[in-house]
Amino acid sequence: MIAFVAFCVFSSAFYFHALDRGKIFVGIGATLCPLLAITCTYGIVSMTGSRVNSLLFVMPFLIMGVGVDAAFLMVYSWQRQISHNYSSPERL
């Protein structure tokens, strides 16, 4: 999943001639955050001794879907701002 997101971000940045190392870090970071959330959730559930149910098995796929979607939206908005040649204060 992380490699796929990094490849997509890198190839789109290369295609639009806006290759920047920060975009790849944003894509990888936005993928790692949901993975860490899933790991933390499983750890808390295990520590409390709760029973494992079917929702617990579906939840990682939903969290990863939202996380990867957020990564692509962040990179797209970044790409849109760069294409309009905004200055740094206007971007913030």
Tens of pLDDT, residue by residue over 12-61, are 777 877 777 777 777 778 778 888 988 998 899 889 988 888 888 888 88
pLDDT for the residue 82: 65
Predicted TM-score (pTM) of the model is 0.62
Site of tokens 């797209």:
76
pLDDT (0 to 100) of residue 79: 72
Question: What is residue 3's predicted lDDT score, i.e. its pLDDT?
Answer: 75
* Domain residue extents for the chain: 2-83
Q: Which residues of 11-49 are buried (b: 16+ CB within 10 A; e: fewer)?
A: ebbeeeeeeeeebbebbbebbeebeeebeeeeeeeeeee
Confidence of residue 74 (pLDDT cuts 50, 70, 90): confident
